[in-house]
């Protein structure tokens, strides 16, 4: 299977030292479409991506809408029971799932866009870029 890179958003759509969630949909090995929520952290020119699922109970990390970081902004945080995760490795450094890891997502910055690799995204009918903005 060819390694396709899908554009998630522009690098500058996420401020440095901020995180943003994307509710993607992928096609799995059996051809089924399934939800694939991810969180992307930008740190300068670097980006880190993880599946938005806590290794403790599988909850989403965002305890409030678009809140992924702890108050210091230096770690990802699961709002359910307060697990903290290192930004660069996804390792839980504190909390009920200490030393477990978030599942990494393969990201690359290509021509100023943050792209996801290693998955097959389900295409929208109109193939419009969804901004994720809700009314
Ligand atoms: S579900 Fe994330 S810390 Fe418990």
Rounded distance from Cα 66 to ligand 1 centre (Å): 17
> 125 falls in which pLDDT band (50, 70, 90)?
low
What pLDDT, in 10s, does the model give residues 46-65?
A: 999 999 999 999 999 997 88
> Residue 59: its pLDDT value, please?
94
pLDDT of residue 133: 46
Q: How confident is the model at residue 74 (pLDDT cuts 50, 70, 90)?
A: very high
56 C-alpha to ligand 1 centroid (Å):
5
Please state, in angstroms and rounded to a whole number, the distance separating the CA atoms of residues 68 and 52. 9
CB neighbour list of residue 119: distance below 8 Å, 6 or more residues apart: 6, 24, 26, 36, 105, 106
Nearest atom in ligand 1 to the alpha carbon of residue 57 is 1
Between the CA of 64 and the centroid of ligand 1 the distance, in Å, is 14
Per-residue pLDDT for 94 more than 70?
A: yes
Q: Determine the pLDDT at residue 2.
A: 55
d(CA 71, ligand 1 centre) in Å: 17
Residue ID of nearest Cα to ligand 1 atom 3: 81
Domains, the chain, ordered by start = 6-66+103-117 (2.102.10.10)
116 CB contacts (<8 Å, ≥6 apart)? 5, 6, 8, 24, 38, 49, 105, 106, 107
Please tell me the residue having the least CA distance from ligand 1 atom 1: 57
Cβ < 6 Å from ligand 1: which residues?
A: 54, 56-57, 59, 78, 80-81, 83, 95-96
Band (44; pLDDT cuts 50, 70, 90)? very high
What band does 132 get if pLDDT is binned at 50, 70 and 90? very low
What average pLDDT does range 103-114 have in this prediction?
A: 97
CA of 128 to the centre of ligand 1 (A): 34
């Amino acid at each position: 299977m060819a390694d396709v890179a899908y554009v998630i958003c522009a690098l500058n759509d996420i401020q440095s030292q901020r995180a943003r969630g994307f509710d993607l949909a992928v096609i799995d090995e059996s051809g089924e479409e399934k939800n694939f929520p991810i969180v992307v952290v930008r740190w300068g020119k670097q980006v880190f991506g993880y599946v938005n699922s806590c290794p403790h109970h599988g909850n989403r990390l965002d305890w409030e809408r678009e809140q992924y970081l702890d108050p210091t902004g230096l770690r990802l945080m699961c709002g359910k029971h307060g697990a903290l995760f290192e930004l660069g490795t996804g390792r839980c450094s504190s909390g009920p799932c200490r030393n477990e890891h978030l599942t990494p997502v393969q990201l690359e910055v290509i021509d100023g866009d943050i792209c996801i690799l290693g998955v097959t995204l389900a295409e929208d009918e109109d193939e419009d870029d969804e901004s994720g903005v809700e009314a």
